[in-house]
Amino acid sequence: MAILSPPTQGVSSLFSMRKDSLTSLLPSNCKPVNTKPNLSSLSTHLVKSLFLRMEVLSCMVKSRAITQYIAYVHSSRGTQLLNLRSHETMATLTMWMEIEAHQFDPPASKLTWEQVIKPIYGLETDQTIVKENEAILEKVLNIYEKRLEESRFLACNSFTLVDLHHLPNIQYLLGTPTKKLFEKRSKVRKWVDEITSREAWKMACDQEKSWFNKPRN
């Protein structure tokens, strides 16, 4: 995944949240990885563990699958992103993850592509596509506004993967005219302010800026 992409930002944010527990799983930065390490200096057990973990993650090409895997494996540490306290809460969380993936992400990703990614490559933004997808996104945000009247976050009253998965596209769209759709809904605006101000998310954004500003050969 490209470091600029919303999926990468989501995974990067999870790394930042669980930096202390993920060092044995994957590096927390974006430095190039040596794919031919000196295995002779590693113990047999460590080598097997390393390649097993690499194989597991290489099978999960979708960022949501990766974040769920990491959040579950490390559920005893840090922020409880899956909130497994009750069957009801877990069911609600799963439902909102589906809503994010199938209702919010499609229009939000198209808006990010048109207004953020295309200009970077010198391509012209298609305002017709922007208008069409803003209309779709507005309907989704109307549902979010009602939900956030009764809950601090989307799935429950604590920050979960549902909120994290929204962050990349929201962060990009806050730098575009689409920002108005979030700002004119008071509950949505409050939710956006809270999730984008989380320290782990700021770290993920800073990491992306640092990588993107590096000179390329």
Residue 41: the pLDDT is 46
Boundaries of domain holding 162: 87-204
Q: Quick one: 68 and 116 in the same domain?
A: no
Q: Quick one: 108 and 198 in the same domain?
A: yes
What's the one-letter identity of residue 138? Answer: E
Name the least confident of 3-7, 90-94, 177-181: 3-7
Say how far apart CA 178 and CA 174 lie, in whole Å: 7
Is residue 167 within 8 Å of residue 154, measured between CB atoms?
A: no
Q: Quick one: 29 and 93 in the same domain?
A: no
**Where does the pLDDT of residue 72 fall: very low under 50, low under 70, confident under 90, or very high at 90 and above?**
confident
**Where does the pLDDT of residue 187 fall: very low under 50, low under 70, confident under 90, or very high at 90 and above?**
very high
Does the residue 141 lie in any domain? yes
Say how far apart CA 199 and CA 13 lie, in whole Å: 9
In the predicted structure, residue 213 carries a pLDDT above the cut 50? yes
In the predicted structure, residue 56 carries a pLDDT above the cut 60? no
Q: Quick one: 92 and 197 in the same domain?
A: yes
